Structure 1
Amino acid sequence: MNDKELRQLVLDELEFEPSIDSAGIGVSAEHGVVTLSGHVPSYTQKLAAERAAWRVKGVKAIAQEIEVRLPGDARTNDDEIAQRALNSLAWSSAVPRDAVRVRVADGWVTLSGQVDWNYQRAAAESEVRKLTGLVGVINDIALKPAAQVVDVKQKILDALKRHAELEARDIRVEIREGGTVRLEGGVDNWDERQAVERAVWSAAGVHAIDDRLHIG
């Protein structure tokens, strides 16, 4: 597939996705790297556009350059966004109470604090993403140091083997200082890459992922 064909496939997928107003989105492609540019009216549409592009076969990487341009009547004061974010986090059963701090500036929400598990960090971001009036989210939530990392590598390899869609033999796992997991090897598509990361995050003691997997 050449770059022109890939670009057209991504444009078609964006137009097909009902949750996206794709009129303001531009697409370019070069050697499997797709650049998304232009503007959309909400942060959720920006995320949806990226997910749609990843669904296209042949996409190996994405440069996300879409700008969120909120309509004039959709603009929300930072203090209102902050209060809504705090309320959403308080209502979430997955986010420990009072563990996450919120700062809002010009529609950008920054999350900070510490939690025990990556799923809690991801849940906090997911809750905030739903808010209207957002321009973007920066997730600076840290994971608390694990008391002890025991057999992390074997637990990860076992998790990979349990995923029927993954060829675990093609994935190399290396545990580095501070609970960082380095991944190398290849997967067939973005969904497989995401499945690998979910398997790694499921192991206690993992604090960061150095993902060097290639697609295709």
Structure 2
Amino acid sequence: MNDKELRQLVLDELEYEPSLDAADIGVTAENGVVTLSGYVTDYSQKVAAERAAWRVRGVRAIAQKIEVRLAGDKRQHDDEIAQRILSIFAWNTLIPENKIRAKVSDGWVTLSGHVDWHYQRGAAESEVRKLSGVKGVTNEIQLTVAAQQGDVKRRIEDALRRYAEIEASDIRVDIKDGSTVHLEGRVDNWGERSAVERAVWSAPGVRNLVDNLVIR
């Protein structure tokens, strides 16, 4: 597949995504690296655009340059956004009470604090992404326990058993500083890469992931 064909496939996938208005999104492709540019009217659409691009076979990397430009009727004061964040955190049973703090500056939300599991960290960010008026999210929430290399490797091997064409020996796992997982190796497509990432994040104590997996 050449760059022109890859670009068109990404454009088609963006247009097909029902949660996204792709009219103002531009796409370029070079050697499997796709650059997304332009603007959308809320942060959730920016996330949806990136996910849609990753679904296209042949995409090896993405440069995300889409801006969030809120419509006039969606602009909200920072204190209003902060209050809504506190409210949804209080109602969401996946988010531990009084463990996460939120700072809002010109629509950009920074999350901090400590939780025990990555899914709690992800749930907090996911809820904030959906809020009207949010331009972006920086997730600085930390995990309180240390990762165990043997546990991470076992979870990856368990996940890869669902993919008969992949061998766990194709992937190397290293843990640095007790919490940062480094992945090296090769997979066949983005879906397999995502499965490996989910396996890593399901292990207790993983705070950071450096994914150097190459799509064949």
After TM superposition, is the score higher than 0.5? yes
Q: Counterpart of 1:130?
A: 130
Q: Runs of 4 or more off by more than 6 Å in structure 1?
A: none
CA RMSD of aligned residues (A): 1.7
Question: Are residue 152 (structure 1) and residue 151 (structure 2) matched?
Answer: yes
Cα offset for 1:158?
4.0
Residue 91 of structure 1: how far off its partner (Å):
0.9
Percent identity of the aligned residues? 63
* Kept in 1: contact 2:110–2:138 (CA 8 A): yes
| Alpha-carbon distance change, 115 to 172 in structure 1, aligned in 2, over 3 angstroms | same
After superposition, the C-alpha distances for 1:28-64 in whole angstroms (9 at most, x for unaligned) are 1110000000011111111111111111111000001
Q: CA deviation at 1:192?
A: 1.2
Is the contact made by 1:155 and 1:203 (CA closer than 8 Å) also made in structure 2?
A: no
Q: How does 1:80-159 map to 2 (within 5 A)?
A: 80-146=80-146, 149=148, 151-159=150-158
Partner of 2:3: 3
Identify the residue that residue 163 of structure 1 maps to in structure 2.
162
> CA contact under 8 A between 1:112 and 1:141: conserved in structure 2?
yes
**8 Å contact 1:173–1:184 — kept in the other structure?**
yes
CA distance in 1: counterparts of 2:23 and 2:206, whole angstroms: 41
- Whole-angstrom CA distance in 2 between matches of 1:149 and 1:5: 43
Structure 2, unaligned stretches of length 5 or more? none
Question: TM-score scaled by structure 1?
Answer: 0.93
State whether structure 2 residue 42 is matched by structure 1 residue 39. no
Shift of 1:208: 2.2
Cα distance in 2, alignment partners of residues 10 and 57 from structure 1 = 9
Structure 1 unmatched ranges of 5 or more? none
Contact 1:152 / 1:205 at 8 angstroms: preserved in 2?
Answer: no
Deviation per residue, 1:71-118 (Å, 9 max, x gap): 111111111110111111111111110100000011101100011111
Using the TM superposition, give the Cα deviation of residue 154 of structure 1 relative to its aligned residue in structure 2, in angstroms: 4.6
Query: Structure 1 stretch 90-99 or stretch 206-215: which is displaced more?
Result: 206-215
Matched, 1:204 2:187: no
> Is contact 2:190-2:215 (8 Å) kept?
yes
| Inter-partner Cα distance in structure 1 for 2:18 and 2:156 | 38
